[in-house]
Structure 1
Amino acid sequence: MQVHASRRSRLAATMRAQGGGVAIVFTAPEKARNRDAHYPYRWDSHFYWLTGFPEPDAIVVVVAGADSEESILFCREKNEEREIWDGWRHGPELARERFGFDRSFTIDKLDEELPKLLADQPAVWHAMGSDAALDARLRGWLDAVRAQARAGVTAPARAFDVLHVLDEMRLVKDAHELDIMRRAAKISAAAHVRAMRAARPGRREYEIEAELLHAFRAAGSQYPAYGSIVAAGRNACVLHYVSNDAVMADGDLLLIDAGCELDGYASDITRTFPVNGRFGGPQRTLYDIVLASQHAAIDATRPGARFTDPHDAAVRVLAQGMIDCGLLQGSVDAAVESGAYRRFYMHRTGHWLGMDVHDCGDYREPGEPAGEGGRPWRILRPGMVLTVEPGIYVRAADDVPEAFHDIGIRIEDDAVVTESGCEIITGDVPKAAGEIEALMRSR
């Protein structure tokens, strides 16, 4: 409770620095899968980060005055009949006590109470433009306040995007968040090891996906953090492959990009390994290039570096390796400057990680003046978490050495920026080629 309450206080302090006002943050709605069946419910990340409250049909309001603050929850009423069908509901009173709110109301009081909360406030903080229906509701509340103008009541004169503020607050993780992320990483790492041991020629990709999902849930994870990619052979050259239904052949590499979500926080790991337990010569050549590029990127992940520095370090190693094995011609500088390497490596080396697998936060440094390429890239600071995931993807083509046709390789780990460098929290999965082969021999 205290963790979430302190976050609401931080939000209120940020609001006071801009003159104060009222912030309104909605949770995610339930979504129908088909007819009367719903997708498993997952709350909005910003809302949960502020509240810890897990139920749908809820809104948090933070009021920041000049020298005071208040947090108010609107949620579903206590309803014993619905609980028989759908499960536990806190109701406003218990939710207020358990989650540390100052006041609470049932959600059906929203249209009655919000105009009162917005009256005579200098500003409203809202997820502007994210949902047309929510924008319309806000306009209705503001209109209700403006209708009281003859009584001397004023409506907020300014509006701020509350999501931008929360994005910046969430970008640097606190100790509570990092503890959960380390545990999520361990669960996912164990799942990848299980998958390596289960993979064999003749099995289907979805059988290995099932091994991952079993390991996630058995260890207490609530969900996969995203749809698992289990891609054998040429399927690994499809970056977001999701079919997961092909038969794994002897001699294939298997690329697995999968991670669990634990208590709202994602992990994200990719490993590529031989289904039969032995790297072929061309596979090993490309694999070692990717691994060397990842080492270079990890070395570049440190406080004070720019977000793009790990990518730049990886690209130079990848380009040199592509030249050495005949995928590219010319110099490293020319391959990088021209972008020729992008034929075989077309994505960036990382992204923010947190409650969302592609987590919130600007990739450009706030407040720095823009140059020709826009604002400079973000400066890495302790507590930021990002992935490090270089790869090589070689589709068959007449001008590509045949030995490398249809080989796709990616190696991904999760890195916490520390005071002196970075901490790899997904290191429990082998990634040196010899270590992978040794693990698979032990099956």
Structure 2
Amino acid sequence: MRRPTPQQQRRNALLSQMESGIAIIPNAFQPRREDDPSRYTTWIYGLSVFMPDSDFWYLTAFPEPESVLVLIAGAQPQSILFCRPRDEEQELWWGKRIGPEQAQERFGFDACYSMDELDTRLPQLMQGHSRLHYAFGADAGWDQRVYQALNQLRHPKASRGGSVFPTETVDIRRNIHAMRRIKDAAEIDIMRKAVNISVAAHLRAMRACQAGLYEYQLEAELQYVFRHHGAWGPSYNSIVASGPNACLLHHVDNDRQMQSDELVLIDAGARFDGYCADLTRTLPVSGRFTGPQRDIYDLVLSAEVAAIDAIRPGRPMNTAQQTHVRILSQGLLDLGLCQGSLDGVIEREDYKRFYMHGPGHFLGIDTHDAGRYHNAQGEWLNYQPGMTLTVEPGLYIRPADNIPEAFWHIGVRVEDNLLVTEHGVEVLSADLPKSATDIEAIMRDGALH
């Protein structure tokens, strides 16, 4: 007997949580390309590519669009997939399809059917269940399809004789997202690969960086490494932000020519087998930090290192932000960029002029992965073993009359990817150097040019 796949184990766990009823978890349903009727699409780098729905991918790893997972809980739980049928003509144009028969064997479903049968079979599968686990409001197209099945069961002819059909709806995302917040061993292995590919890409960008290049040329170095090592591509549109662009939190135009006296902030990660990495390093374009650049860089790095050291299981998830704010605020006071007392700067939130974002986020199938940070009372939840997350303090100093000109256009962010363990954290991206001295050495000794 074959060992259950990680996705089968997750489906079984979800079925146990459901206890009763039927769940419907559709794959991505997005606008279609006019010239490609077989795929649903999203956009990366201006290119149209299919991206599976994250919850669907977590439970199936099934890679094709126009598919839906149906779970039936109870004494005899079932896991059923509907997917596209084999079609010789369509496959000639758009590539081979897996088809229901192969999908059932390959992905461990109890049954698989063609999507052509969904509207007929779905009411039959719903019948006898009083609870529907489905995320109404997430997608209007799927909502209409589910309502259509429900309306068939509500019809007087169908309900004659006391037939049971769903009258209670539960948002299935709450269960799935709670599961996704804690990564299993298979997920962690994939994320290690995504992070390692991203580390290699950042190292290549460090070695390639020089004055006169355009931001998009460093972006191309990143993309080359991503694809060369088998990643799907970037987890998100890569940020390569030089000079004043480094003070924009999500600069993605990447069209500016870099100058020798500037910093370039690179925020980029690979998506491998559906899972994301998200790393940031800030480099001196010339290969050496100026005095003010080094002051800001070392301050941000010290906040990041202290926050990583502070994260432990059982501590509240605002621990990293509290650490960032205290260290950055003291450093801004020391550099004369804030005035008054440390407690005053924090209470008045003066630091937000230079540090205006959060400490990081969950990481996984989505770059900002699923999972809650607060309980129902609004209190911070605690870090738990198996969580994967980013830590990413930054400082962004824009020109102003009361800011010394030497600090103008200095934007610095340092970001690593972490796994919370039983006793602390493992820095998954530890192989990517981040001290100013190490970065300068790589840019000096390992240059590609």
Pairwise same-fold verdict (TM > 0.5): yes
Q: Does 1:112 align with 2:117?
A: no
Structure 2: gaps of 5 or more residues: 42-47
Instruction: List per-residue Cα deviations over 1:45-93 (Å, max 9, x = no partner).
Output: 100111111111000100001x220011101011122111111111111
Match of 2:216 in 1: 206
Q: CA deviation at 1:418?
A: 0.4
Q: Aligned partners of 2:318, 2:295: CA distance in 1, in Å?
A: 26
Q: How do 1:62-81 residues align onto structure 2 when only pairs under 5 Å count?
A: 62-65=71-74, 67-81=75-89
What is the letter of the counterpart of residue 113 of structure 1?
Answer: R
Three-state SS of the structure 1 residue aligned to 2:371 is: coil
Instruction: List per-residue Cα deviations over 1:140-165 (Å, max 9, x = no partner).
Output: 11111112111321221211001111
Q: Aligned partners of 1:349, 1:137: CA distance in 2, in Å?
A: 40
Match of 1:140 among 148, 154, 157: 148
Q: Aligned partners of 1:364, 1:353: CA distance in 2, in Å?
A: 17
Q: Aligned partners of 1:308, 1:257: CA distance in 2, in Å?
A: 23
Q: Does 1:322 align with 2:332?
A: yes
Match of 1:14 among 5, 13, 17: 17
Match of 1:40 in 2: 49
Instruction: List per-residue Cα deviations over 1:311-341 (Å, max 9, x = no partner).
Output: 1111100000000001100111111111110
Q: Aligned partners of 1:235, 1:52: CA distance in 2, in Å?
A: 38
The answer to whether the 8 A contact 2:373-2:380 is kept is yes
What is the letter of the counterpart of residue 243 of structure 1?
Answer: D
The answer to whether the 8 A contact 1:365-1:379 is kept is no
What is the letter of the counterpart of residue 29 of structure 2?
Answer: P
Q: CA deviation at 1:35?
A: 5.3
Q: CA deviation at 1:32?
A: 3.5
Larger CA deviation: 221-230 vs 24-33: 24-33
Q: How do 1:30-429 residues align onto structure 2 when only pairs under 5 Å count?
A: 31-33=31-33, 36=36, 39-65=48-74, 67-147=75-155, 148-365=158-375, 370=377, 375-429=378-432
Three-state SS of the structure 2 residue aligned to 1:337 is: helix
Q: Aligned partners of 1:239, 1:80: CA distance in 2, in Å?
A: 47
Three-state SS of the structure 2 residue aligned to 1:93 is: helix
What is the letter of the counterpart of residue 133 of structure 1?
Answer: G
Three-state SS of the structure 2 residue aligned to 1:256 is: strand
The number of residues matched between the two structures is 432
Match of 2:45 in 1: none
Q: Aligned partners of 2:77, 2:433: CA distance in 1, in Å?
A: 49
What is the letter of the counterpart of residue 221 of structure 2?
Answer: E
Q: Aligned partners of 1:323, 1:35: CA distance in 2, in Å?
A: 57
Q: Does 1:435 align with 2:448?
A: no
What is the letter of the counterpart of residue 412 of structure 2?
Answer: I
Q: CA deviation at 1:357?
A: 0.2
The answer to whether the 8 A contact 1:21-1:123 is kept is yes
Q: Aligned partners of 1:160, 1:146: CA distance in 2, in Å?
A: 19
Moved over 4 A (4+): 33-38
Larger CA deviation: 34-43 vs 423-432: 34-43
What is the letter of the counterpart of residue 428 of structure 2?
Answer: I
Task: Return the TM-score normalized by structure 1.
Answer: 0.96
Structure 1: gaps of 5 or more residues: none
The alpha-carbon distance between structure 1 residues 35 and 79, as it changes in their structure 2 partners (threshold 3 A), is closer
Three-state SS of the structure 1 residue aligned to 2:57 is: helix
Instruction: List per-residue Cα deviations over 1:285-306 (Å, max 9, x = no partner).
Output: 0011000000111011111111
The answer to whether the 8 A contact 2:29-2:139 is kept is no
Q: CA deviation at 1:33?
A: 4.9
Q: CA deviation at 1:36?
A: 4.8
